[in-house]
């Protein structure tokens, strides 16, 4: 794979090398991959408001409530994305005992997902509530409800016992590590020891900043990260992505990793080679969860060794995921084939 400079030419190359029928066959070949998703459950709430202006008594913005919606995020979203591609999927995650969100979660998850919930005491189920100006969908601020204190030994032991028994039964284990406490050091060691093929995304966010780096893992088969997560992993704020990736190669045993770069697309580093592909959508609706969608779908391509198409597919999935609010929808085979068709037909241009 070489670095791609001319994006129109890059699309033409994809069209020749990966005609729609070939991509369909690839997608169909994912069907029987027995998959486990493990990670932090997040409920993403969107509160739509109309700003009225400054409150009279305090220098704060006063808004009128309009409506609100809740979407399944974090590991729940990862499971939903994967559920349309594979037949059999188990989701291992955690909820809190201070509320009962399990029926919301059950309704929000696809029906072919089997769930194994662990319950944390004195904790809410993690909720991230965003307040938006409904006129333009811009975000005003966010409130998080979460308890990320370390797990009790009893709870950690019960997750370990479950994984010890279950991990060997799965072809692919997909870890959505949002740093909200379910993935402990002991659980990482067990995941690395017992998974046949381990795919990871380790999220940096405002709740875990400085504490949740991809380098907690030693030898996953496939990793995705955004640029900032790559910068943190190698403690380098200024170098360009290829140099950062070089450093990561030098410091870890990661052999396949995808770096998503927001509006600048994605770069894939595989067996010492690198390939970039630009992003497609010029007016994203909401970029929350786009990286998780990319992570979910590219994990399947990496599992099957379809490495050459990964940077292109990453941006197709990213393009779909930024076209709706947060995790309101999920990526499906049909949406992906439709998006590829639009690109090959010249209806969607690269940025």
Ligand X SMILES: Nc1ncnc2c1ncn2[C@@H]1O[C@H](COP(=O)(O)OP(=O)(O)OP(=O)(O)O)[C@@H](O)[C@H]1O
Shortest Å distance, C-beta 221 to ligand X: 19
Q: How far is CA 176 from CA 64, 73, 98, 131, 295, in A?
A: 35, 10, 23, 25, 9
Please tell me whether residue 291 binds Mg ion under the rule CB under 5 A: yes
Query: Which residues, 109 to 168, sit near ligand X by CB under 6 A?
Result: none
> Looking at beta carbons only, is 291 or 311 nearer to Mg ion?
291
Contact with ligand X (CB under 6 A) among 124, 242, 262, 308: 262
Q: Which residues contact 244 (CB under 8 A, 6 or more apart)?
A: 227, 230, 231, 234, 236, 259
> Looking at beta carbons only, is 18 or 319 nearer to Mg ion?
319
Shortest Å distance, C-beta 154 to ligand X: 31
Contact with ligand X (CB under 6 A) among 198, 234, 248, 266: 266
> Looking at beta carbons only, is 63 or 281 nearer to ligand X?
281
Contact with ligand X (CB under 6 A) among 263, 273, 304, 341: 263
Please tell me whether residue 208 binds ligand X under the rule CB under 6 A: no
Shortest Å distance, C-beta 200 to Mg ion: 12
Name the segment binding ligand X (CB under 6 A); options: 56-64, 83-91, 109-117, 260-268. 260-268
Contact with ligand X (CB under 6 A) among 318, 329, 331, 336: 318
Instruction: Let me know: does 292 contact 326? Beta carbons within 8 Å.
Output: no
> Looking at beta carbons only, is 63 or 317 nearer to ligand X?
317
Contact with ligand X (CB under 6 A) among 265, 286, 296, 300: 265
Contact with ligand X (CB under 6 A) among 41, 241, 261, 310: 261
For ligand X, the binding residues (CB under 6 A) are 203, 226, 260-263, 265-266, 279, 281, 284, 287-292, 294, 314-315, 318-319, 321-322
């Amino acid at each position: 794979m070489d670095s791609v400079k001319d994006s129109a030419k890059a699309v033409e190359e994809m069209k020749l090398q990966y005609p729609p029928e070939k991509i369909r066959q690839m997608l169909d070949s994912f069907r029987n991959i027995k998959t486990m998703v493990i990670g932090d459950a997040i409920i993403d709430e969107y509160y739509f408001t109309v700003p009225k202006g400054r409150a009279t008594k305090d220098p704060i913005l006063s808004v009128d409530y309009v409506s609100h919606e809740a979407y399944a995020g974090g590991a729940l979203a990862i499971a939903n994305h994967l559920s349309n591609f594979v037949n059999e999927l188990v989701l291992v995650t955690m909820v809190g005992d201070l509320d009962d969100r399990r029926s919301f979660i059950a309704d929000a998850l696809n029906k072919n997902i089997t769930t194994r919930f662990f319950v944390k005491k004195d904790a809410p189920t993690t909720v991230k509530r965003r307040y938006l100006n409904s006129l333009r969908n811009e975000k005003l601020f966010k409130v998080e409800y979460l308890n990320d204190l370390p797990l009790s030994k009893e709870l950690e032991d019960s997750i370990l016992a479950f994984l010890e028994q279950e991990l060997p039964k799965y072809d692919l284990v997909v870890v959505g590590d949002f740093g909200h406490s379910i993935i402990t050091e002991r659980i990482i060691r067990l995941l690395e020891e017992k998974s046949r093929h381990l795919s990871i995304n380790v999220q940096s966010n405002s709740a875990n900043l400085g504490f949740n780096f991809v380098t907690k893992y030693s030898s996953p088969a496939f990793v995705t990260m955004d640029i900032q997560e790559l910068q943190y992993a190698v403690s380098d704020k200024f170098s360009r992505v290829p140099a950062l990736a070089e450093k990561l190669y030098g410091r870890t045993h990661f052999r396949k990793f995808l770096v998503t770069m927001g509006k600048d697309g994605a770069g894939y580093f595989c067996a010492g080679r690198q390939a970039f592909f630009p992003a497609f959508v010029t007016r994203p609706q909401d970029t929350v969860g786009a990286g998780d969608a990319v992570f979910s779908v590219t994990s399947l391509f990496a599992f099957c060794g379809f490495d050459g198409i990964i940077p292109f597919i990453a941006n197709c999935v990213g393009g779909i995921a930024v076209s709706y609010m947060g995790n309101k929808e999920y990526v499906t085979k049909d949406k992906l084939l439709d998006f590829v068709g639009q690109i090959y037909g010249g209806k969607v241009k690269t940025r």
